[in-house]
Chains A and B, each alone.
Chain A
C-alpha cells in the first residue's frame, strides 16, 4: 500500500505538471481526491491493515493527500494568474485615442478675473457693494465733488438720460451710497459696469467694468493706501510686480495718485509696449476728499479714508494677453473657449 500511495503521489505530480486548463485541473482533483478517486480507493482498503500498519499508512496517506492538495492549489493559482494575464492582454486599449468629449462651459474672462480679484479683497475684509448703473447726477458727480460745469466732467464723457440722470461713469457712485448708509469702519469694493461715450476701438469701449475700492476709518493714512495697492498688485500680477505712485488729480480724492506698474516687458528701461515710459498706467487712487466725506455725513476731522479705481478690462487683457478689447464683447465661442 505504501508503494501505491507513493505511486499516486508521483502520478499526481506528473499529471498536474502537465495540466494546462482549469477544467483539466478539476478532473484531476476528482480523479485523485474525489469520493471515487484513487486516494479514497486506497484508503478504503485500510480496514485490511494491521493495527501497527494502520497509523503508519494513515499518516502517509494524509501526507500524500495534503501534498496533492497543495499541488492542485498551486497549479490553480498559476493557471488563474496566467488566464487573467491573457484576458488583460486581450483587453488592452490604445490609450492614446481621444477621450469621450465632455463639456464644461467657462466663465467669461472678465468674470473669471473679477472673481479672483474679489477673492483677494474678501480675504482682506472688503465687502462687495453694488449699486445702480443708471444713476443720478448727484451720486455720479455732485457728491464726488464734481459740481455741474466742473472741468473734470470733461474727462468722463457722459451718457445722459436726462439733465439729472446719467449712465454712471464710475462705480464711485456706489461708494457714496455706501457711506450714506453705513457708518465707518467701511471696507468695500464696488465692481460693475460703467459707461463713457468713447467710440469702440482696440482699447476703448463705451461700456466697461470698474472695480472701485473704499476704506474709511479712524487713522487711515496714505501709507495704508500705498501698502494696500502694493499688496493687491502683487496678488494680481505676482510677487515681482513693482508699482509706482505719482501725483494726479481727481476731484473726489486729495491727495490723488495714479499708479503705474513697472513694465513687465522691459523692467523699466522703456520699450514699445510701455510707449517707452518704462511703466504701464494701472489705476487711479487717493485719499477721500474731505468734502466727499462731509457730504456723506462722515466727519473728516475724525475719519479719513482712501479710494481707488481699477479697470477690469485692462487687467483681464494684460493677464490673458488679449490685444483687442472688442473681443471681450463679441463673445465668439472660439474666444470664450480659451480661458
Chain B
C-alpha cells in the first residue's frame, strides 16, 4: 500500500514530525514501512520560464534558439537555450532546467554549445521530469511540457520551482499490510493507525451529496441479490449526464503518489475512493444493462463474459457475477465486463458499491487467473458497512468535480448480516498472558484509541476490524500500543531436559565419521527431474520411477521427489568436474521419498550417499571408507558381494557391472556402491572415473542396535603367531570366498586374515591369480606351539584346495 502523505494530512495532522519518526512509529505499532520516497527529490534548479522568442538555429534545420525569461531564477536577463523540440513557440510557459540542474535518474544539465550556439540549460519534456501524459493529459509525450494554469492550483510565476508549480513533492510511504488488516489498505485506515499510534486527533469527514432529486429506481427496474451467502450488501447509485474528462490535478497527484495511473474522472473517482476507503467500486454504463436490472447471482456453468481486459472467460457455477436480465456484466469483486465500463459517449452511469464473500472472490480470481486490485481487497474480507459511506464519497466527488448529476436516492440491498465483532476483555488475563503489569485504565485507553469500546468485560471492535475473534486478539491490540519492546524479557520457568533422539545421534555421528574420512558434506534439492532416472540408466520398469510428483512444479527439473539419492550425488560430482575441481570427496545425508500404495503420505527414509572422483579415488578407497564407517557406526562385520542385478538392488544399473557391490548383514542388503557405469558418466558429462555409494540409514541403525553396545574385550596375554600363505586359483574366484575358507579352517584361534598381495601374470598362467594372505592366530590360553599352527595351516591348505586354490610353488 502506497500512502500519499498529503492525502493522509486530510485526516490526521502529524505536525512537524519527521518522516523517519513517522515511519518508525507505525512500523513499531504494526504497520510495517518498507520504504519512503519524496516525489521529485532528484529534481533541482528546474524553474518555470516563458519563451520570449523562438528563432531558427543558423547551423541546423531542426534546432531552434529560444530566449527564456526565468523571472526570479535569473539575473534579470533572459537566458538563451537551444532546443530540438518542434512544439515550442514564443509565449509558451515551460519547465527550464538551468545550468547545474539535476533531473530524475541522475541526469545533470550543464551549459554548453549546440552547433556553435550557446545553450544555458534545457527545456524539459514530461518524461524528463519523470512524468507521463497520464499525469498531465493536456501535455504531449514527445515534446516540451507546455505548462497550463490549472484551476485551484498555485499561480504559475516565472522563476518558481517547477516542483511547486506542477505539484511534485508529495512523499509516498510504502506499507506492508498484513492479510488480517484489509482496513489498513486505505488512507483512512492508515490515518486511524497514525492517530492511535501517535495519540493524535482523527478528522473524519462525512460525505455530503446535494443531489438533483429523484431515485435510482426510476432508471433501474430492479436490484436484487440472489446469492445472499456470497453478497452481504449491494448498493447502486445513478449519475446522469456524465461529462467524462480529465480529473483535477490534486486528484491526479494523489493517485500518482499512490501508484495508480490517472485515466479519466470516473475511473479516477472509483480508484480514489478505493484508495481512500479501501472499498472497491465499479461503474456501469446504464445503456448496456439489458432489462435495466441488476442481480447478484451465481454464474451458470459455461456462461461466458468478455472482461475489461478484452479476454473472453468461461465461468462456472461457483463464481459470483453481477448480471443484467440476460447476461453477466461483471465478475463480482474481480473485474467488470468489456462493455460495462465508462466510454466517451457514456451518458448515464450506475455506481456500484458492494461487499462480496472473500473466499468466493479469492477462488474465482484464482480460477480465472486474474488477480485485481479489487479482488485482492475483497478476498481478505471487507466490512460491509463501508460500502455506503464509500459510495456517498464517490457521489460527493462527482459533484465536486462537476462531472455529472447525482440522482439523490440510491438503491441499497442488504442482508443485514453485519454483526459486530467482540471478544472477552480481562485486564488480569491480558497481563498474565503478556507477562506485563499494565493498569486496566491504560489498556482501555489503548482500546478506545483503536475505536474499541469496553463494557462489562467485553471489548467491542469497530465495524472495520473484521479480524477480531478472541481474547488474544484484544491482547495483541493492547500489546502493540503498549509496545512489544516494552514487554519484559523473562526466562521460561520450570526445568526441562532434552537430548537427541537415537536417530539424531546416529546421523550426527555418521556425519562426523564421514568428515573424518575426508569427505565434504553436500546439500541437494529433494526434488529432481524424472529424466534423472534415465541419466542413471534405470530400466524402464524400475520401481524407482514411481514417484511423488509435484502438480505445480517450477519446472520439469524439480518436478518429482527423488526416490533415489544417487542422481543428486552424480549431479554434484558433475558440477565439481565441470568447475575443474581436480577431486571431490562428498557425502550427503538426505531423504528419499517413496510412495506407499494405500497411504496418503510417502515414506521418507534417510540415506547416506557418498561420491568421489580424483587421482586417489578408486573402488577400494570407496570400499575402505564404507568399511571404516560401518565399523565406526557399530555394524560389526558386514558382507560384500558383487552386484549386477537391479532385482538385487534397483540402482545396480547405475554402476559398472564388474565394479559394483552390495553390502549386507545377515542376508539383508542395505547398500550399494561402486564405480559409476561409463554410460552414466557420459550422461553427466564426467570425464573421469567416479564412484558413488548409497547406504540405508534406518537399516544401518537396526543392525547397529542388534549388534548391541560395545563391550571391552581383554587385551591378549599371549603373543600371536602369523603365517603367510600364497595360493594360485581361478581369477574369477572371489577373495572373500578364500577368506571365508581360511576362517573356517583355522577356527577360533584365528585373529585376522589379511590379504597382502594379488598377482596376475605369466608366472601363474592365463585366467589364474596368485593370492597371498597373512594369517594371524592367537589363543587366550597360552602361546600357540609350532605344531598347533602347522596343523591349522594344513587345514587351511586342504580347505583352499577344495575351492581349487593350490599352494603356490
Contact = CB atoms under 8 A, between A and B. Distances in A.
Contact of A105 (B499, B501, B504, B587): B587
A151 B554 contact: no
A134 B488 contact: no
Given A108-B523, A149-B363, A159-B552, A221 B490 contact: yes
Contact of B500 (A122, A231, A328): A122
Interface stretch (A17-25, A50-58, A75-83, A330-338): A330-338
Interface stretch (A3-11, A26-34, A240-248): A240-248
A140 to B, nearest CB: 11
Given A154-B179, A247-B484, A105 B523 contact: no
A108 B521 contact: yes
B511 A107 contact: yes
Interface stretch (B574-582, B636-644, B723-731, B749-757): B574-582
A230 interface: yes
Contacts of B359: 148-149
A328 B489 contact: no
A160 B436 CA distance: 43
Interface stretch (B58-66, B131-139, B467-475): B467-475
19 contacts: A105-B514, A108-B520, A125-B495, A125-B497, A130-B504, A149-B358, A165-B600, A207-B527, A222-B484, A223-B434, A223-B487, A226-B435, A247-B30, A249-B178, A251-B180, A291-B470, A329-B525, A332-B575, A334-B579
Given A152-B179, A227-B489, A105 B434 contact: no
Given A187-B498, A246-B27, A193 B479 contact: no
B656 to A, nearest CB: 23
A45 interface: no
B523 A329 contact: yes
Given A134-B602, A331-B576, A219 B520 contact: no
A42 B609 CA distance: 87
Contact of A126 (B181, B498, B548, B600): B498
Contact of A226 (B487, B520, B561): B487
Contacts, number: 245
A69 interface: no
Given A105-B515, A111-B523, A276-B35, A206 B554 contact: yes
Interface string B581-595: 101111100010100
Contacts of B28: 244, 246
Contact of B550 (A128, A130, A159): A159
Nearest to B606: A130
A333 B550 contact: no
B479 A222 contact: yes
Nearest to A160: B551
B433 interface: yes
B524 A331 contact: yes
A221 B435 contact: yes
**A interface secondary structure, majority:** mixed
A121 interface: yes
Contacts of B554: 197, 199, 206
Contacts of B480: 247, 255
A72 interface: no
Nearest to A331: B522
A38 interface: no
A202 B264 CA distance: 41
A121 B498 contact: yes
B30 A246 contact: yes
B551 A224 contact: no
A12 B583 CA distance: 70
B551 to A, nearest CB: 5
Contacts of A152: 179-180
A161 B179 contact: no
Given A107-B515, A217-B494, A258 B476 contact: no
B66 to A, nearest CB: 41
A86 interface: no
Interface string A146-160: 001101101100011
Interface string B451-491: 00000000000000000001111011001100011011111
Interface in A253-306: 254-258, 275-276, 287, 289-291, 304
B365 to A, nearest CB: 11
A329 B550 contact: no
Contacts of A322: none
Interface string A306-339: 0000000000000000000000111111101100
A127 interface: yes
B747 interface: no
The 7 closest A-B pairs by CB, nearest first: A223-B435, A125-B496, A221-B435, A247-B30, A255-B476, A249-B178, A103-B518
Nearest to B178: A249
Given A151-B362, A165-B601, A328 B434 contact: no
B479 A255 contact: yes
Contact of B492 (A111, A161, A224, A328): A224
A258 B33 CA distance: 13
Contacts of A121: 498
B473 A161 contact: no
Nearest to B547: A161
B572 interface: yes
A128 B359 CA distance: 37
A263 B523 CA distance: 29
Given A152-B180, A206-B558, A221-B432, 20 more contacts: A105-B517, A105-B519, A111-B523, A127-B498, A160-B550, A162-B551, A215-B492, A219-B432, A221-B490, A245-B485, A246-B28, A247-B476, A254-B473, A254-B475, A257-B484, A258-B32, A287-B433, A290-B471, A331-B572, A331-B576
B192 to A, nearest CB: 15
Contacts of B522: 108, 331, 336
Interface in B675-726: none
A149 B520 CA distance: 44
